[in-house]
Amino acid sequence: MEYGQVIANGLMLGALYACIAVGFSLVWGVLNVINMMHGAFIILGGYLAFFAWLHLKINPFVMMLPVAMLMFLLGYLIQYGIINRVIMRPVLTTLTLTFGLDMILYNAMNIAFSATPRRVVLDLGRIDIGGVIMSLDRVAAMVLALALTGLLYLILRTSRTGRAIVAVRMDRDAAALMGIKVNKVYAITFGLGAFMAGACGALVSVVFPITTSVTGLFLGKAFVICVIGGLGTVPGALVGGLALGLIESFAGHWWGPQNAILIGFVIMLVLLVVRPTGLMGKKGYE
């Protein structure tokens, strides 16, 4: 039964990871921009949820949607006002730009909130399924993370805006000729990425301590998941996230948790060389 617990932990972690990576993957796939701010967005969402819980006694699961809306607005404005201006420039430019913006956001959060780790304590009790013990707040976070990922999938599949995003991803120029306002779609896409990050942050605040020093850690996870699962698709991020959750869980079980991150990165490097399009990816996107 030892492995049952490891698998359960891995899946729980994996659901959160999928939710972390899906917004990042969307932005990368559609805009061809690596959003170095993604980790900081998650932590900002976590802080918002934490302070709402601390001062207003609002449950983070309830705060998730309002926080996500706020983050959508922030993301929309950043893309519309700043990144859209250099979107056609080489990779180095957009990457360096979001890196610079990330440093500003990181520094601002460090000063506003200080680096003390904070965590929401809900203590909803735990359940025991055949010897596998899981705390209920984590189960709730996992279910909500999967639901959010599913929601994004539905938005992309069924809504008018979602179809426009997919169209721009496939061919920017053709989409523009069809009357899609590409700049606006870019801003909405980036906003959606921030939306997912903010919602995830609210969930993460229940499971992990929130502190500015882990922004890089979350960003690194998003990289790894995108490379494992493939770029720009929701199922890819889901598969990649669950895979990374399981890999880390087993690696931590066998070789100790301090080596789990290293193993994730090594797997990513190997996959980059062997299969750069990822497990679920299609060819043709750079």
- List residues near other proteins by CB under 8 A: 28, 32, 34, 82, 85-86, 89-93, 95-97, 99-104, 106-108, 110-111, 216, 220, 223, 227, 258-259, 261-262, 265-266, 268-269, 272-273, 276, 286
Name the minimum Å distance from CB 140 to other proteins: 31
Length of the chain measured in residues: 286
In angstroms, give the least distance from the CB of 95 to other proteins. 6
Say which amino acid occupies 267.
Answer: I
Residue 27 CB, shortest distance to other proteins, in Å, is: 11
Q: With 0-12 CB in 10 A as exposed, 13-18 as middle and 19+ as buried, what is 257?
A: exposed
Based on CB atoms, which residue is closest to other proteins, 33 or 164? Answer: 33
Question: Smallest distance, Å, CB 198 to other proteins?
Answer: 21
Least gap, CB of 56 to other proteins (angstroms): 29
**Nearer to other proteins among residue 143 and residue 280 (C-beta):** 280
Task: Name which of 100 and 117 has its Cβ closer to other proteins.
Answer: 100
Helix (H, G, I), strand (E, B) or coil at 90: coil
Cβ nearer to other proteins, comparing 34 with 234: 34
CB of 111 to other proteins, least distance (A): 6
CB of 137 vs other proteins, minimal distance in Å: 30
Q: Which is nearer to other proteins, 77 or 155 (CB)?
A: 77
State the maximum Cα–Cα separation within the chain, in Å, rounded to a whole number: 59
Return the sign of the alpha-carbon dihedral for residues 14, 189, 272, 38. negative
Alpha-carbon span 126 to 139, nearest angstrom = 9
Which residue type, as a one-letter code, is found at position 193?
G
Q: Which residues of 11-28 are buried (b: 16+ CB within 10 A; e: fewer)?
A: bbbbbbbbbbbbbbbbbb
**Hey, what are 26's tokens?**
């969307």
Q: Between residues 122 and 260, which has the closer beta carbon with respect to other proteins? A: 260
Q: Nearer to other proteins by C-beta: 166 or 261?
A: 261
Q: Which long-range contacts (CB under 8 A, 24 or more apart) does 97-106 make?
A: 98/33, 98/34, 98/35, 98/36, 98/37, 99/36, 101/36, 101/37, 102/36, 102/37, 102/39, 102/40, 102/215, 105/37, 105/40, 105/44, 106/40, 106/212, 106/215
CB 282 within 8 A of CB 230: yes
